[in-house]
Every structure is written in structure tokens, then in C-alpha cells.
């Protein structure tokens, strides 16, 4: 064969001999050494919501026979750290690439897709209807990527004072309670709320305190006059 191909399965120095012949049976030979270097193996795992923070992602490098690395997180950012942490800020499906190098400049590439999905529902515990700041003067639940949502506010006797199920295209609540019922501003004090939510990934909202071992889908809100 004029231009053969061969795959070496072991690292090492090999002597390759080429012998050529002409039509008269004359021949000539040459021997050259070929060094086969080790090839790195690129691999990594992904830990989403690292340390309990949405969007914070830890990439655990599991490459072998490699000495340095090049990461592309798919969001325009890169890194040369071994096991970097990246903060994503938008919902999307990101393609993450790791190129692993060894000391002989041999490379291997690993690619994984990483889906980022921000979700949450926060219920405030107090508001002041007389405050000039609109954010403080109303009872305004905050959320994102909700598919279904409903909240009710009661007085201590169990009467419904306000309720809402309106969300925008981003899955965020759009309505607030101003503290009035039937045209009258409610007295200072605490009131009860109950809420439910289903996110666009079909998971249920577990409660107002995501750090709690026993989060609640109900609680109290105080009107401050």
C-alpha cells in the first residue's frame, strides 16, 4: 500500500521501516522513529443551583491524562479553571464545551447541554398602604415562570378580602392588594394568606421559605398604618 494508515494502541516509541522496490527488483529501505503520545480523556458533570442559588452552576472536571483546560459555557463566557463555577442569568438551553489538553498538546473534547430554568414565588410579610413607595404600599407577590397561580387573603374570621390568579407571559403575578375591602382600608394588624403555584416545568411551588425543611403555602401579612 502506498499510503497506509495504522492505529497504535499503546504509548511508546516505534520504529517504522519503509522498503521500496523498482521494476528490476532493486530495493531501498528507510527507518524512522515515531513517538505515540498519550491522549487525554475529557469528561465533566454538572451541578445545577449550586449552594442553593438558582443559576449558579458547578462544573466538576472528571478528565484524565490532562494538564490544562478550556471551557466554553455557551453564554459567551469562558474559563481555564479545572472545575469552574458559572452564574447563568437567563432561561435557556446552553451547550457547554470542555477541551482538555495534555503536555504534548494532544486534546479531547466533551460537550453537554445544560438547561437553565429560573422559578420561584415570594410572598411579602408586610406592607404599608400609606407609604409613597408603590412597592411598599401594596401586598405584591413576586414570581417567575408560573403556569398556574392563585392567592387569597383572609381576615382572622376567615372572610376572603382579596384574591388573584393573574400572571403575565413571564409567569409573574400581575395584581397587588392595596389593603382595601369593600371600599374601606382594613385596620392595622395581621391577615392570613394562602397560595398555590405550578411552574412551567410542571413542578409545584412548595412554600414561601425555600430554605426551610417544612415550607408553608400559607402565612401572615401585616398591614402597617
Q: Which domain holds residue 133?
A: 120-223
In this structure, is residue 7 part of a structural domain? no
Q: 59, 85, 116: which is the final residue of a domain? A: 116
159 and 106 part of one domain: no
Task: Give the integer Cα–Cα distance in Å for 143 and 156.
Answer: 26
In this structure, is residue 53 part of a structural domain? yes
Q: Please give the full DSSP string across 11-49, using - where no structure is assigned.
A: -EEEEEEEEEE-TTS-EEEEEEEEEE----B--EEEESS
pLDDT at 211: 55
Q: 88, 116, 144: which is the final residue of a domain? A: 116
Element (H, E) at 136: helix 134-137
- Could you tell me the pTM of the whole model? 0.77
Q: 116, 147, 176: which is the final residue of a domain? A: 116
pLDDT in tens, the chain (225 residues): 788 898 887 888 889 999 999 988 899 999 998 888 888 999 999 999 999 899 999 999 999 999 999 999 999 999 999 999 999 999 999 999 999 999 999 999 999 999 999 999 999 999 999 899 988 999 999 999 999 999 999 999 999 999 999 999 999 999 999 999 999 999 999 999 999 999 999 999 999 755 556 788 999 999 998
Indicate which CATH number applies to the domain containing 71. 2.60.40.10
Nearest to 101 by CA among 47, 141, 64: 64
In this structure, is residue 180 part of a structural domain? yes
Amino acid at each position: 500500500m502506498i499510503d497506509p494508515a495504522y492505529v497504535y494502541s499503546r504509548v511508546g516509541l516505534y520504529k517504522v521501516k519503509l522498503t521500496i522496490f523498482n521494476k528490476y527488483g532493486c530495493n531501498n529501505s528507510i527507518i524512522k522513529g515515531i513517538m505515540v503520545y498519550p491522549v487525554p480523556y475529557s469528561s465533566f458533570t454538572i451541578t445545577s443551583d449550586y449552594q442553593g442559588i438558582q443559576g449558579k452552576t458547578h462544573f466538576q472536571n472528571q478528565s484524565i491524562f490532562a494538564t490544562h483546560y478550556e471551557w466554553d459555557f455557551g453564554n459567551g463566557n469562558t474559563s481555564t479553571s479545572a472545575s469552574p463555577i458559572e452564574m447563568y442569568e437567563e432561561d435557556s438551553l446552553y451547550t457547554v464545551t470542555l477541551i482538555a489538553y495534555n503536555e504534548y498538546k494532544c486534546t479531547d473534547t466533551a460537550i453537554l447541554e445544560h438547561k437553565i430554568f429560573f422559578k420561584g414565588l415570594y410572598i411579602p410579610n408586610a406592607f404599608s398602604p400609606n407609604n409613597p413607595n408603590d412597592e411598599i404600599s401594596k401586598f405584591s407577590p413576586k414570581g417567575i415562570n408560573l403556569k398556574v397561580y392563585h392567592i387569597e387573603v383572609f381576615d382572622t374570621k376567615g372572610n376572603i378580602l382579596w384574591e388573584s390568579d393573574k400572571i403575565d407571559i413571564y409567569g409573574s403575578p400581575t395584581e397587588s392588594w392595596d389593603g382595601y375591602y369593600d371600599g374601606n382600608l382594613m385596620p392595622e394588624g395581621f391577615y392570613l394568606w394562602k397560595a398555590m403555584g405550578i411552574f412551567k416545568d410542571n413542578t409545584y411551588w412548595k412554600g414561601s421559605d425555600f430554605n426551610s425543611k417544612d415550607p408553608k403555602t400559607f402565612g401572615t401579612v401585616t398591614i402597617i398604618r
